[in-house]
Chain A
């Protein structure tokens, strides 16, 4: 164990800091859950790409920097220190990208990864269906082979970023009559293909971040399938592992929130309760604990290990931490908590963040599912009801 950064790592931190300080927008962007805000965030993705900061851990051949995970953590720390915007293309960067790198053909890598790194194509995920949420193996949407195409019919829903993105990925039933985890394939599709209807879903904050997708005999080339026909479940589970695991929620994000919460507490100290004070300290402690844990996991992966069911512990921890921090902030804000904009015109980002934090324990596999996984795979308790 050596908790001192090398001179190279310190230089790298300084390089990221200088670039971020020069480029991160001074005014917060409009939420990416609306057309205007999404477009602003796409411009930011392209700005990042222009500095070659879009996909820092990707190999250089695909537009990345080939950085190791410690450098990635340093990058993320500096990104959130500078107040960098949310990533419009996180589905591509953190989910699909690693999936294509692991399972894709050389042609697929060249075709999809480089435009992703350049910020040219924005990706949406299309996992859930109306009857297949936590129980993803209940998927019914079909992709029927017709020569060198699949013909897709069915419906996806709660598809993050699908209202405004360019491309989507999901799993579809390619074997007629197959059940549960069998007979599924992982397929990429152009969201502007004929036969796809997007219906943006108005979310509880009033904006339209995710969407329903209706597929009416949509023709998709077979070469858009990742891995073999019928291997979709395996690929999707690997993708979901990335989502729950290391990269989707880097600790810098929560450390930045904890720091802002400490500052908010200081502003409201005279009228704050002792309980709020303790909640603020808990926020700092847990954000730090999450950072330590992530550095440990990063070191394990760099030493050739992998992250398994522990990813579920991770997901439970950060999602409930994020919710608790924003809840505390709402308490500190008191009467002003309900305002979407404060008197001085600033957006109430705590309110926005609180609403967003409520989705954390639901998406990427609800925390109930994560607790089942923890109990069954880490504690070896009996599995019941899972097919």
Chain B
């Protein structure tokens, strides 16, 4: 029993965090938004870091890492508000294909030349698909109607929900950092607004929600890795906790930014809109609460102090 991310996992996540901070800052989001939304150079950078092959077995040229590692990278993608379809392709579709024994596309996915996306019946659209464009509030989402039939495989839904939860954690953390930074430089009544307790306490409350969403996401990733029969419940828990933290953080962030936060000029809106998009994607809060309800109140899941992990 050890509920701790190991040194290698943390080091890899930190490398990716630094890489994205250096190459994918708010200026890049603005450039993409003003142009074509996607940039082959950014995608190639992710490929060169090995991220498209993160979950692909080594025999197909990948890194052969696991779902916990993938959630840590998905969190970094959220933190950077990454627009490229890395999470959907490499962390959702790849493990889903592998679970079915489908390895045909793996080499091309690792090389970055194939970016398969699969819609689930719960949200029959995907980012960067082949079908007709849809108009998302997230300007960088490139949402398209799914051309082929949507899947209804619960594993696909679980993977999508888990990786959305991980991104929502990163999005929330980024909004917390942006808001704290803004509260330090914006002055009113002769002092930084971050010195006012009314501002401090809102940010602290959001920080609490984020802190207690994180371990739920890692636990869900491990539950799916371990093949627990209760993994779906833990994934639903992760999705609800991360969604609540991100939405609460987004509302706090715009409040702290004041009227500036209501403008297109301030960076915040990119993160806020991605949070809104992912909150509903791969099963809404209501959908996931229902799954928790069935297990916890319905009685299918053992609960209580002796059932933290079993």
**Hey, which bits of chain A sit against chain B, CB under 8 A?**
1-6, 9, 13, 17, 70, 73, 76-78, 80-81, 251-253, 255-256, 258-259, 262, 265-266, 277-278, 280-281, 284-286, 288-293, 295-296, 298-300, 303, 310, 312-313, 316-317, 368, 370-372, 374-376, 378-384
Are B3 and A371 neighbours in the complex by a CB distance under 8 Å? Answer: no
CB of A357 to closest CB in B, whole Å: 17
Give chain B residues whose Cβ lies under 8 Å from the Cβ of A262. Answer: 296-297, 303
Cα–Cα distance between A371 and B211 once the two chains are bound (Å) = 14
B258 CB within 8 Å of chain A: no
Tell which of B195, B211, B306, B308 touches A313, judged by Cβ atoms closer than 8 Å: B211
Nearest 4 CB-CB pairs, A to B?
A: A375-B200, A292-B215, A252-B305, A371-B204
Are B219 and A3 neighbours in the complex by a CB distance under 8 Å? Answer: yes
Cα–Cα distance between A384 and B197 once the two chains are bound (Å) = 9
Give chain A residues whose Cβ lies under 8 Å from the Cβ of B180. Answer: 379-381
Cα–Cα distance between A285 and B205 once the two chains are bound (Å) = 17
CB of B229 to closest CB in A, whole Å: 14
Which residue of A is nearest B194, CB measured? A381
CB of A320 to closest CB in B, whole Å: 8
Are A255 and B213 neighbours in the complex by a CB distance under 8 Å? Answer: no
B292 CB within 8 Å of chain A: yes
Interface size class of B (residues with CB under 8 A): 35 or more
| Further 16 A-B residue pairs, CB within 8 A, beyond A259-B305, A293-B215, A375-B203 | A2-B1, A4-B1, A77-B306, A78-B306, A258-B304, A262-B297, A280-B296, A289-B241, A290-B212, A295-B215, A316-B208, A371-B201, A374-B207, A381-B192, A381-B199, A384-B195
B176 CB within 8 Å of chain A: yes
Are B219 and A78 neighbours in the complex by a CB distance under 8 Å? Answer: no
Cα–Cα distance between A57 and B219 once the two chains are bound (Å) = 26
Give chain A residues whose Cβ lies under 8 Å from the Cβ of B308. Answer: 73, 77, 251, 255, 288, 291-292, 295
Are A278 and B219 neighbours in the complex by a CB distance under 8 Å? Answer: no
Cα–Cα distance between A380 and B183 once the two chains are bound (Å) = 10
CB of A246 to closest CB in B, whole Å: 13
Cα–Cα distance between A35 and B218 once the two chains are bound (Å) = 46
Tell which of B1, B204, B222 touches A374, judged by Cβ atoms closer than 8 Å: B204
Q: How many A-B residue pairs have CB under 8 A?
A: 175
Cα–Cα distance between A284 and B197 once the two chains are bound (Å) = 31
Are B305 and A80 neighbours in the complex by a CB distance under 8 Å? Answer: yes
CB of B70 to closest CB in A, whole Å: 13
User: In B130-147, which residues have CB < 8 Å from any A CB?
Assistant: none
Give chain B residues whose Cβ lies under 8 Å from the Cβ of A251. Answer: 305, 308
Give chain A residues whose Cβ lies under 8 Å from the Cβ of B176. Answer: 379
Are B184 and A278 neighbours in the complex by a CB distance under 8 Å? Answer: no
B110 CB within 8 Å of chain A: no
Give chain B residues whose Cβ lies under 8 Å from the Cβ of A281. Answer: 289, 292-293, 296-297
Give chain A residues whose Cβ lies under 8 Å from the Cβ of B4. Answer: 1, 296, 299-300, 303
Give chain A residues whose Cβ lies under 8 Å from the Cβ of B216. Answer: 285, 288-289, 292
B148 CB within 8 Å of chain A: no
User: In B175-192, which residues have CB < 8 Å from any A CB?
Assistant: 176, 180, 183-184, 191-192
Give chain B residues whose Cβ lies under 8 Å from the Cβ of A300. Answer: 4
Are B207 and A379 neighbours in the complex by a CB distance under 8 Å? Answer: yes
Are B194 and A375 neighbours in the complex by a CB distance under 8 Å? Answer: yes
Cα–Cα distance between A313 and B296 once the two chains are bound (Å) = 26
Are B3 and A3 neighbours in the complex by a CB distance under 8 Å? Answer: yes
Are B1 and A285 neighbours in the complex by a CB distance under 8 Å? Answer: no
Cα–Cα distance between A234 and B193 once the two chains are bound (Å) = 30
Are B184 and A381 neighbours in the complex by a CB distance under 8 Å? Answer: yes
Q: A262-B297, A316-B204, A375-B204 are in contact. Are A384 and B306 (CB under 8 A)?
A: no
Cα–Cα distance between A278 and B223 once the two chains are bound (Å) = 24
Cα–Cα distance between A78 and B307 once the two chains are bound (Å) = 10
Are B204 and A289 neighbours in the complex by a CB distance under 8 Å? Answer: no
Are A378 and B309 neighbours in the complex by a CB distance under 8 Å? Answer: no
Are A1 and B306 neighbours in the complex by a CB distance under 8 Å? Answer: no
Give chain B residues whose Cβ lies under 8 Å from the Cβ of A296. Answer: 3-4, 215
Q: A258-B303, A278-B289 are in contact. Are A384 and B203 (CB under 8 A)?
A: no
Q: A251-B308, A293-B215, A380-B180 are in contact. Are A70 and B1 (CB under 8 A)?
A: yes
Interface-centre pick from A1, A266, A316, A368 (highest chain B CB count, 10 A): A1
Q: A1-B222, A289-B215 are in contact. Are A284 and B305 (CB under 8 A)?
A: no
Are B211 and A310 neighbours in the complex by a CB distance under 8 Å? Answer: yes
